[in-house]
């Protein structure tokens, strides 16, 4: 049974103060209110008839804290609202409620929609020590511009995982977009502008640039696998992320496709090399005879 923190308030008068209780997850908010009024949930005194209010005049708000509440419909079940919005539930009766109503939720679908609209938190900018840090900050700006992100609860985990994964991939293939495109493995348009970071002239420590032909099959497969794994996260299936979800899948597929090309090229080169060696061996034998 989920743990919830509940209160009943009539205007500025608190009829039942905040208290933590466990309730059946299939209970409706109506049921929770009635049991709280009757003193069943908190094992306290019932609210007398003069103080109690009719259920159809009660407004229900749910959230992650006492000050961050969203209005919902009283017919919703506890499981629907707690799993989506939080476990603080306040029942209020006041014809002139001053609380800002972020959304009038009438059913579970609208609750999920309300929660989805709050998925705009992005990782904090990193302190720029090198070009890769700049790439990460540009990705963060790109996320903000496109209005996608995560809930505050998951931005440090899922958000940073997405940021680091995309930055690692774009850093590795930087400068090789044309080569990938020439093999029908183009970088999707959504990510094509993330280039020009991993260049010798912008590195503090100069070293030879990774040539396109030196992209490694194993590393490409590893990055491809990481992108495919990223695409399995539930947030990627939301409407807001749909186009980027498809772009992630295309990038993962194209990196794997180019890795397969490198493997075939390596095999063909080995076969060709063996033929040359065999031909040279035959020539040597003829000369010996």
DSSP E strand stretches across 67-188: 68-72, 88-92
CA distance 115 to 149: 12
Strand order in the sheet with 68-72: 13-22, 3-10, 88-92, 59-65, 68-72
Q: Kindly give, in sequence order, each residue whose CB lies less than 8 Å from that of residue 272, ignoring residues fewer than 6 positions away.
A: none
Measured in whole angstroms, the distance separating CA 192 from the mean position of its chain's CA atoms is: 21
d(CA 217, CA 269): 15
Say how many Å lie between the first and final Cα of the chain, rounded: 91
- 77 forms beta bridges with 28
CA distance 209 to 29: 62
The pLDDT of residue 98 is 40
Alpha carbon separation from 160 to 11, 54, 112, 155, 222 (Å, rounded): 42, 47, 23, 7, 19
Give the per-residue pLDDT at 101: 44
Give me the pLDDT at residue 75, please: 78
Run of H or E including 18? strand 13-22
φ and ψ at residue 117, rounded to 5 degrees: -70, -15
Domains and CATH numbers, the chain: 3-93 (3.10.20.270), 117-279 (no CATH)
Q: Splitting the chain (289 residues) into consecutive groups of 10 residues, what average pLDDT does each group show?
A: 88 86 85 86 70 60 86 80 84 56 48 56 92 96 90 86 96 94 93 90 52 76 94 84 90 94 77 58 54
Cross-strand bridge partners of residue 43: none
What is the model's pLDDT at position 119? 67
Q: Say what the pTM is.
A: 0.55
Q: At what angle do helices 242-288 and 217-230 cross, to 10 degrees?
A: 160
CB 259 within 8 A of CB 180: no
Separation between Cα atoms, residue 171 and residue 109, nearest integer Å: 40
Residue-level pLDDT at 97: 39
């Amino acid at each position: 049974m989920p743990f919830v923190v509940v209160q009943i308030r009539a205007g500025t008068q608190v009829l039942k103060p905040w208290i933590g209780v466990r309730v059946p997850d299939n209970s409706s908010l109506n049921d929770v209110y009635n049991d709280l009024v009757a003193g069943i949930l908190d094992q306290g005194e019932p609210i007398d008839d003069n103080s109690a209010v009719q259920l159809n005049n009660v407004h229900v708000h749910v959230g992650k804290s006492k000050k961050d509440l969203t209005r919902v419909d009283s017919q919703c079940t506890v499981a629907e609202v707690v799993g989506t919005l939080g476990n603080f539930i306040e029942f209020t009766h006041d014809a002139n409620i001053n609380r800002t109503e972020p959304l009038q939720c009438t059913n579970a679908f609208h609750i999920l929609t309300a929660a989805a609209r709050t998925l705009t938190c992005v990782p904090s900018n990193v302190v720029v020590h090198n070009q890769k840090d700049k790439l990460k900050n540009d990705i963060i700006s790109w996320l903000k511009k496109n209005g996608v992100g995560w809930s505050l609860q998951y931005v440090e985990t899922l958000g940073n995982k997405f940021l680091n994964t995309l930055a690692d991939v774009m850093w590795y293939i930087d400068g090789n977009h044309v080569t990938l495109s020439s093999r029908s493995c183009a970088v999707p348009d959504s990510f094509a502008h993330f280039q020009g970071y991993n260049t010798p002239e912008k590195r503090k420590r100069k070293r030879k640039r990774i040539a396109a032909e030196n992209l490694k099959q194993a590393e490409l497969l590893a990055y491809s696998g990481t992108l495919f794994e990223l695409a399995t996260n539930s947030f990627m299936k939301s409407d807001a992320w749909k186009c980027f979800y498809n772009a992630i899948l295309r990038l993962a597929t194209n990196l794997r496709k180019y890795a397969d090309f490198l493997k075939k090229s390596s095999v063909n080169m080995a076969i060709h090399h063996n033929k040359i060696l065999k031909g040279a061996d035959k020539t040597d034998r003829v000369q010996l005879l």
